[in-house]
Amino acid sequence: MTSTVTRQTRSGWGPLSSLLLLAPVLLGAPWIAHRQHSSLPEPIVDLINPVTKLPQISEARILGVSKHLSEDIGFRTPGTYEHALGDKWMYEQVVDFKKKCDEMIAESGRKLECEIWRQEGSGSHRFDMMGSRLYKNYVDLSNIVVRVSDGTAEGKEHAVLVNSHLDSTLPTPGAADDALAVGIMLECMRVLVETPGWSPRHAIVFLFNNAEESLQDGSHLFSTQHPVAPTIRAVVNLEAAGTTGRELLFQATSEQMIEAYSRVPRPFGTIIANDVFSSGIIMSDTDFRQFQQYLNVTGLDMAVVGNSYLYHMRKDLVENIQPGVAQHMGENTLAILQYLSSDPEVLPSLTGGYTKPTTVYYSLLGFFFLYSFSTALKLHAALFVASVALATTLFSGSQPNIGGAGKDAKKGKGKPNGIVSTSSELTAKELVRGAVAAILGFMGCLVGANVVAVIMAKVLGKGMSWFSNEYSALLLYGPPAVLGALISQLLVSPVQELAVYTSITLIQSFLALVVQLLGIGSASLLFLSSASLFIALLINPGFSGSKIEISLVTYALGQSLPLITGTMAMLPVLEVFVPLTGRMGADVPADNLISTIVAAISALAVPLFLPFVHRFGRSTLVKAVILFGIASVVPLAIFAVREPFDEMHQKRLFVLRTENITTGEHHLHLSTSDGAPGFQALVHEIAKEFGSGPEESENPEALPEPIVMDRYNSDWDPMFPFSLFLTPYKVPLTMDIGYTSPWTAPGTKFSITAEEDLVDLSTGTRSLKLRVYHPGLIWTVIAFDAHVLKWNLDDNPPNEYTRHHVKEASFYGKDTWSIDLVVKIPNSGRAEDAGILVNFIGLQEQGMWPGKRALLEDKGLDKNIGSTLLMFRDLDRWIEERTEGGIDAMLLGCVAGVERV
Ligand SMILES: *[C@@H]1O[C@H](CO)[C@@H](O)[C@H](O)[C@H]1NC(C)=O
Ligand SMILES: *[C@@H]1O[C@H](CO)[C@@H](O)[C@H](O)[C@H]1NC(C)=O
Ligand SMILES: [Zn+2]
């Protein structure tokens, strides 16, 4: 054999037959990962295990609780009548639980105590979100609390808190979010207490908090005011942002808690989820934040995240919760509580605070891996060094490689001779060419997918065509990603296959080391991949019989693990991000986001694609380019005619029907939170159908006005600061002649007043109590400009004249709230400038569709108030028919105004 291209020396398998041989790995590895990802336990019905006679988590009972809350009671938005019903029902449950518990104790004399509370309280807190400063004020909200302990003072000294929320957000019945977790907690209580002889060494506090969706007021109330709050050492928070799949651990804030999580029967948590969530890109938050901020405790934050299309939607119903979800979350939660309440050390060890975890963890094929950052660093460093060593032994040649590659590779070391390298030489220069090919390949992959994203969204106007199926974006962006990678290789071809393989191993192991050095545990993904590439490469000569050739067995070995980990990353990331594009706002380039995800994770999943491409030389590469060119255009054509939304993957439409009591005007405000095409056209149709501006019939098409969305747009303050991501339109309405506003009538007027008002011209300040009176209205918001020197919302208002937003949430029937403030009067304190212009808005407690649908049958409903629901019924029906169920509309009756106080 001579230095002619090594192709002839190969086993003789062409590209297609090679792929066929590799097919078991290429298809099998993702299949294994997918199976693992979608595995859920069998749902259990029996409360008692018929074999062991011990109590067990019953999914049937959990779902029964969820169904009662979400369907029998309904939409439990804080401040509504239904919300109060949820509170009452929950209290009855724990009273009943205590009764049974006490009976059991009386019978058995066990070391056990069950205590219950209905906590009620008011307060305020600063709650910054999405980059905006915001304050919350709450009145008489409630929590239901249960403590299970061994009855001793020592047993109660250290407790683990487990939390779920009873309330649901604006129009959603909240079956998964979060009634499911309420059921899980009740079920854990039953199983623990009914287990014969069970007694907790450390207490467990069950918090059924009744105001999470109003921005975590319930957990704030518990953390700042409940008598047992100071005993809490750790928190387990149970949430949902979807209805299917395994419950995901997405925040774990200490070593001890990760250790606790490792005890669960079916772990599903990775440091990657933790890193993604803590980056803030998901734009959501849980009660966990309050426990961290006000109790300063560590914990675990877990949620059901699959099928996130239904998150905060009408269809968050029990019928849409996948069988096995409740069982999975229930058994995992129980295991954590059993461990923390029985282990003598863990909870007490957290008394003096906790340390941020420096732990890498992930679940892989049913195993839970857990090791420290320093171990990870050593591993990654060792791998990188080993990769460099291997690369050095392989690529130290500097003369033509004549047969028996093994021998001459070493001989050539340090003997530069001016020979121009050919593709058969194992020289350092070839390795550099390989690295260039690898880097270009990765970039080409990203570019290829993003070009198609731009074509779809900007050129064809068919953005978000993949929305209705989380994985479908793989079909649209996968082929152009491959095409981009292939085209990039034309620039460098021919390159040695082995050089590309080796350089990818080097680059990945280098990045694994660097990323880990930055303290980002997600580096483990790169580590696992480069480790398997390295090992396969190391033993490759054993299969190929040569150092220069790569055996197909090596491909199979090297590629298996990256395919598994890549698939395990791809599935949850797409499941989270694809539905998320429906609520990220119109300004987010959703197509580019998803195409980048597809391309980047695919590149990670199939690192050996590039060396494989160079295995067969340039003519095969050219053929592959043509093939993938076609393969990219076909899905593009198919996706261009797809509708992004359907009945189970709906567009979010926000509708406010607002009466401005200052001007007497009525408007329909419409907005959406995605950038899919067609919204403007829909708004025009709605305007034509339901709007009635003064210029009627003249040019009905021009009626809806696009609105500038900023901090000064008070129309959308009920949704502030999420509202900043909306794309709103405004349509004027005319009211029936017989309409008289209930919101301006004496005694029930929505108003803002200043009490205890004192202007001090000598200091240029004014102190006052700003009181909001809001009968029949909930979730009121005020926004005003002022230079606040002092107030009761927090200790450090910004020291400047600026805009403030204060939101309220109160228990049903509470119709007034206030804040105390001292402001600096602008313009050097002239008395005539002391007034503050306050924008205010609130939601009609009886004007929320579909939550209040049943009220239409209520004979006692005030006809002025009922007019909102009547219109929503018609509008909702119209939207349903017009879009064939492709839209979930949130329809809220609002009352707003502006007053100088
Ligand atoms: C919270 O606990 C940590 C120790 O884990 C401590 O360093 C920190 O000062 C505490 N913060 C507050 C606000 O108490
Ligand atoms: C109500 O009308 C007043 C006066 O035009 C305006 O300043 C205010 O922004 C309006 N409020 C809302 C919420 O539309
Ligand atoms: Zn929730």
Q: Quick check: 781 pLDDT over 60? A: yes
Distance 241 CA to ligand 1 centre (A): 30
Distance 842 CA to ligand 2 centre (A): 13
Q: Mind listing the pLDDT tens digit for each residue in 798-854?
A: 999 999 999 999 999 999 999 999 999 987 767 788 899 999 999 999 999 999 999
Distance 890 CA to ligand 2 centre (A): 22
Which residue's alpha carbon is at the smallest distance from atom 14 of ligand 1? 296
The answer on 68 and 174 residing in a single domain is: yes
The answer on 115 and 27 residing in a single domain is: no
Identify the CA nearest to 658 among candidates 648, 649, 671: 671
Q: Quick check: 413 pLDDT over 50? A: no
Q: Mind listing the pLDDT tens digit for each residue in 292-350?
A: 999 999 999 999 999 999 999 999 999 999 999 999 999 999 999 999 999 999 999 99
Stretch 65-85: mean pLDDT? 97
Residue 806 lies in a domain: no
| CB of 354 closer than 6 angstroms to any ligand 1 atom | yes
Stretch 248-276: mean pLDDT? 91
- Taking CA 209 as the corner, what is the angle to CA 206 and CA 210, rounded to the nearest 5 degrees? 150
Q: Which ligand lies nearest to the CA atom of residue 352 in the structure?
A: 1
- Closest atom, ligand 1, to C-alpha of 355: 5
- Least confident segment among 441-450, 483-492, 757-766: 757-766
- Closest atom, ligand 1, to C-alpha of 354: 5
Residue 750 lies in a domain: no
- Least confident segment among 29-33, 129-133, 591-595, 871-875: 129-133
Q: State which of 669, 750, 841, 898 you would mutate to test the pocket of ligand 2, scoring each by most atoms of that ligand within 8 A of its C-beta.
A: 898
Q: Which ligand lies nearest to the CA atom of residue 841 in the structure?
A: 2
Q: Quick check: 399 pLDDT over 80? A: no
Q: Which ligand lies nearest to the CA atom of residue 233 in the structure?
A: 1
Residue 660 lies in a domain: no
Mean pLDDT, the chain, whole residue set: 91
User: Which positions are annotated as active-site residues?
Assistant: 212
- Closest atom, ligand 2, to C-alpha of 896: 13
The answer on 514 and 396 residing in a single domain is: yes
Ligand 3 is an ion; its neighbours by CB within 5 Å are 177-178, 239
Residues at CB less than 6 angstroms from ligand 2: 660, 662-663, 714-715, 839, 841, 896-898
Distance 896 CA to ligand 2 centre (A): 7
Q: Mind listing the pLDDT tens digit for each residue in 13-34?
A: 889 999 999 999 999 999 999 9
The answer to whether 786 and 728 have CB atoms below 8 angstroms apart is no
- Closest atom, ligand 2, to C-alpha of 660: 1
Residues 6+ apart with CB under 8 A from 634: none
Instruction: Give the count of beta carbons closer than 10 Å to the beta carbon of residue 625.
Output: 16
**How far out from the chain centre does Cα 856 lie?**
36
Q: State which of 665, 714, 729 you would mutate to test the pocket of ligand 2, scoring each by most atoms of that ligand within 8 A of its C-beta.
A: 714
Identify the CA nearest to 591 among candidates 453, 461, 728: 453
Residue 111 lies in a domain: yes
Which residue's alpha carbon is at the smallest distance from atom 4 of ligand 1? 353
pLDDT > 70 in the chain, percent = 94
Which residue's alpha carbon is at the smallest distance from atom 14 of ligand 2? 715
- Closest atom, ligand 1, to C-alpha of 353: 5
How many domains are there within the chain? 2
Q: Which ligand lies nearest to the CA atom of residue 288 in the structure?
A: 3
Distance 543 CA to ligand 2 centre (A): 77
The answer on 425 and 347 residing in a single domain is: no
697: left (phi over 0), alpha (psi -120 to 50) or beta: left
Helix ranges (H only) for 678-759 are 679-690
Instruction: Give the count of beta carbons closer than 10 Å to the beta carbon of residue 714.
Output: 22
Q: Quick check: 290 pLDDT over 60? A: yes
Residues 6+ apart with CB under 8 A from 263: 335, 336, 339
Q: Mind listing the pLDDT tens digit for each residue in 88-106?
A: 999 999 999 999 999 999 9
Q: How far apart are CA 319 and CA 611, in angstroms?
A: 48
Q: Which ligand lies nearest to the CA atom of residue 180 in the structure?
A: 3
The answer to whether 286 and 237 have CB atoms below 8 angstroms apart is yes
Distance 67 CA to ligand 3 centre (A): 16
Which residue's alpha carbon is at the smallest distance from atom 12 of ligand 2? 715
List of E strands, 224-281? 232-240, 244-252
Distance 210 CA to ligand 1 centre (A): 27
Q: How far apart are CA 76 and CA 211, in angstroms?
A: 10
**The pLDDT of residue 493:** 79
- Closest atom, ligand 2, to C-alpha of 714: 13
Peptide bond into 798 cis (omega under 30): no
Residues 6+ apart with CB under 8 A from 71: 173, 175, 317, 318
Residue 371, SS3? strand
Q: Which ligand lies nearest to the CA atom of residue 223 in the structure?
A: 1
Q: Mind listing the pLDDT tens digit for each residue in 142-158?
A: 999 999 999 999 999 99
Q: State which of 232, 293, 296, 354 you would mutate to test the pocket of ligand 1, scoring each by most atoms of that ligand within 8 A of its C-beta.
A: 296
Which residue's alpha carbon is at the smallest distance from atom 5 of ligand 2? 663
Q: What is the 3-state secondary structure (H, E, C) of 836-871?
A: CEEEEEEEEEEEEECCCHHHHHCCCCCHHHHHHHHH
| CB of 291 closer than 6 angstroms to any ligand 1 atom | no
Identify the CA nearest to 639 among candidates 453, 448, 446: 453
Task: Say which residue, 128 or 418, is predicted with more confidence.
Answer: 128
| CB of 817 closer than 6 angstroms to any ligand 1 atom | no
Residues pairing with 672 in the sheet? 653
Residue 261 lies in a domain: yes
Q: How far apart are CA 624 and CA 627, in angstroms?
A: 5
- Taking CA 17 as the corner, what is the angle to CA 606 and CA 480, rounded to the nearest 5 degrees? 40
Distance 176 CA to ligand 3 centre (A): 8
- Closest atom, ligand 1, to C-alpha of 298: 5
The answer on 421 and 317 residing in a single domain is: no
Which residue's alpha carbon is at the smallest distance from atom 13 of ligand 2? 715
Which residue's alpha carbon is at the smallest distance from atom 11 of ligand 1? 296
List C-alpha distances in Å: 311 to 28, 321, 333, 579, 603: 32, 11, 21, 9, 30
* Residues 526-529: contacts with CB under 8 Å, at least 24 apart: 526/604, 527/376, 527/379, 527/380, 527/383, 528/364, 528/561, 528/562, 528/565, 529/561, 529/562, 529/565, 529/566, 529/604, 529/607
Distance 798 CA to ligand 1 centre (A): 24
**The pLDDT of residue 426:** 79
Q: Quick check: 855 pLDDT over 90? A: yes
The answer to whether 290 and 136 have CB atoms below 8 angstroms apart is no
The answer on 429 and 395 residing in a single domain is: yes
Q: Which two tokens stand for residue 255?
A: 């070593």
| CB of 555 closer than 6 angstroms to any ligand 1 atom | no
Q: Quick check: 11 pLDDT over 80? A: no
The answer on 66 and 118 residing in a single domain is: yes
Which residue's alpha carbon is at the smallest distance from atom 3 of ligand 1? 353
Which residue's alpha carbon is at the smallest distance from atom 7 of ligand 1? 353
**The pLDDT of residue 9:** 40
Which residue's alpha carbon is at the smallest distance from atom 6 of ligand 2? 898
Q: Quick check: 406 pLDDT over 70? A: no
The answer on 306 and 381 residing in a single domain is: no
Query: Pick from 357, 382, 415: which residue ends a domain?
Result: 357
The answer on 233 and 154 residing in a single domain is: yes
Residue 52, SS3? coil
The answer on 506 and 561 residing in a single domain is: yes
Buried b (16+ CB within 10 A) or exposed e, 667-678: bbbbbbbbbbeb
Residue 590, SS3? helix
Report the CATH number at residue 224.
Answer: 3.40.630.10
Q: How far apart are CA 188 and CA 331, in angstroms?
A: 8
Assign 703 a pLDDT band (cuts: 50, 70, 90): low
Domain that holds residue 573: 15-35+374-639
Distance 213 CA to ligand 3 centre (A): 7
Distance 59 CA to ligand 3 centre (A): 19
Query: Pick from 639, 655, 670: which residue ends a domain?
Result: 639
The answer to whether 138 and 214 have CB atoms below 8 angstroms apart is yes
List of E strands, 330-450? 359-364, 367-372
List of E strands, 626-716? 651-660, 665-672, 705-706
Residue 621 lies in a domain: yes
The answer on 500 and 444 residing in a single domain is: yes
Query: Pick from 357, 382, 407: which residue ends a domain?
Result: 357
| CB of 296 closer than 6 angstroms to any ligand 1 atom | yes
Pairing of strands 651-660, 887-900: parallel
The answer on 254 and 170 residing in a single domain is: yes
